[in-house]
Amino acid sequence: ALDERMENQVYPALGNVPGLGNLIRTMAAQGYNYQRDDEMAMWGSADLTYDITYSM
């Protein structure tokens, strides 16, 4: 689910940042750490790690 969200929402958003989309050559997922509130289910967070290659 997180990979899909990155592919469908985050990557396209990065492409819309002026100048950034032209710099990124590769962006590969390295993994993620997911945490959530088990008691009340009030929040969740994900720390995503990506390897980004770019040229300037």
pLDDT of residue 40: 77
Q: For the whole prediction, is pTM greater than 0.85? A: no
**Residue closest to 34 by CA, chosen among 24, 43, 26:** 43
Average pLDDT for 6-16: 75
What is the domain partition of the chain in residue ranges?
2-54
Residues 52/26, Cβ–Cβ less than 8 Å: yes
pLDDT of residue 56: 86
Chain segment 23-35, per-residue pLDDT in tens: 888 878 787 787 8
Mean pLDDT of the chain: 79
HSE (side-chain half, CA atoms, 13 Å) at 29: 13
Count the Cβ atoms, other than its own, within 10 Å of residue 17.
11
